[in-house]
Structure 1
Amino acid sequence: MAPLEDLERDYPIIDSNFRMFCASHGIFTDTDFLLHDLSALEAFARQDYAPQKLEQGIRQIISILESGQRPWLNGLELLDDSQLNKCTISTGCERIDILLQGGLRAGHVTELVGPSCSGKTQVCLKAASHVARNSLGKVVYFDTGNSFSPKRVAQFLSLLPDPSTTQINKTVERDMSSIVCHSVFDIFTLLDMLRQLRNNLRSQISFQVRMLIIDSLSSLIAPVLGGGGVHGHALMATAGFLLKEIAHESNLCVVVTNHMVAGEAGMLKPALGESWKSIPHVRLLLSGKYSANGTLIKILKHPYLASGKSTDFVVI
């Protein structure tokens, strides 16, 4: 989220007169444009004494936003990305690691999609615990629904049946400190925090970060997708681009969760819809159906593995 006044140096069209016009409509940052009907805004601009300049400014802001959401379209960029040394990091669940031939891939965005109580959060907590316990680096955990359970993490770290009744030793305390949890309850706060994390990683302030988890991303984006407007989808695209950029530039494992909603004939479908499914590199479906061997997880999308493969697993 960039204040409009910060853009004037690079884009002189965004001058004080343009900013005053924007402020009269409650627009103070580039991201604020995503909350407005741009057609209506242009109509107001045409009523001003300098309509052409205002319309040019609006188009400039749109161009800035679009450039910030550009995916990798260049074949050379895609080839370069595929040739990077992208290691895998264990989820801490042996059967999931076997299914994924090693675990979660650094540099990729992995989506866990499934209905409520299907185990998405448990997989996230287990993966975060595994990274911390094995001193692989720090984990940044964005919790959007108060689902982060420090007791469960301590249980994974200590392998004790109930860490709440046992004194947590110094090793567990050290490992717990490697997981940095932030509560995030709206998409704009998330975008701000993602940009801050990206900038910190670029300046090596947070160079030890190994994994980024957002549980759940869909609970922040779904509320702004209603009404059929383009702004919610622009926000979703912005979040997706930032996640892929962070994963790619810093070679992180990025994990997000997505809940499910009722579709045609009552069939469940991922909440973020068709526009989102092209963004994650990997999509894994947790069915929520339990068997003798645990929960079923299936590959919906993977750049290197066949879709449709599945396995049962238990998070312990």
Structure 2
Amino acid sequence: MNTEMNTRNSTASTAPAATGRTINLGRPWQGTGPFLFAVHHLDAYPAGTAEMAPSVASDGSWSMYHGDTVPGFPAHPHRGFETITVVTQGYVDHADSTGASARYGAGDVQWVTAGNGVSHAEMFPLLSTDGPNTFELYQVWLNLPAKDKSAPAEFTMQWNEAIPVVTRDGASVKVIAGTFEDVTALAPPSRSWAADSSSDLALWLVTLAPGAQLTLPDVGTDRTERALYVHGHAASVDINGTLVAEGVGFEQTSRGELLLQAGDAGATVLVLAGVGLDEPVAAHGPFVMNTQAEIVEAFEDYRRTEFGGWPWPSRAMVHPRETPRFATHGDGREERP
């Protein structure tokens, strides 16, 4: 089960209150520090067919993305960074060029280190035939240091049941990366920037009930950058006296604690923090490198090798409807929640 800890706001804290400014999030949401950007998908899919496809045409409340039958993103390449995918509702079927595959969702997190190159498919099977199939996903792109852009591709699973969650007085913090107070996240991939203690990296998903308060502790270093992304229907959060509405972000500009107080509708807040890599960034499409020459090389390598080829019968691979949540790694290792 989740590690739930009921704790109290400190009444004797002497940490200064931080300052900050609101930011236009854009689409995708702009990143901070080592984070390149984040995207948030919330789709009101209808009941699924026998093929796990939408049973009716879209009314504008959901998208097929690049899928033809099942919604999602058929096989596509990445190199030089990581994806952190958080699925709060619905399911994702994963398949990749290393031979790995998975079905995860309902709170699970998948962390993929693309490293020197991987092709993967991310499809959204609609498992309920008597619907609806509400789907919510966050995907965060995290840069890799130059020394790790050539690392072998790997992924790790954080099953919902094992992810630490801190709860208190109408607020909860899902600790996906880093440490919240004395609660530490599960281990990231071994070559991730998050695995370096100097990164001060944190990724928290905060849920606030109407009127709930929560104090975020100070960041760990003077070089750490932190941003908060407020969302939810009619959501608003007062952050150290600055009102931040749904779809707006808050960028911290000085060290210190942040006091969050939700408005009448409550709110969800994605928190990203970390020390930047202080390296040049060259990004184009699915590749994030340090120089334009490396981008050209990435495209050439993908055209030549397809990063190991595609071992699956479909580039929009989905697993049978009855398949439970699972992960099979390229070395044959299997795991389940």
| TM-score after normalising by structure 1 | 0.27
Q: Which structure has the highest strand share of the two? A: 2
**Structure with the bigger percentage of helix:** 1
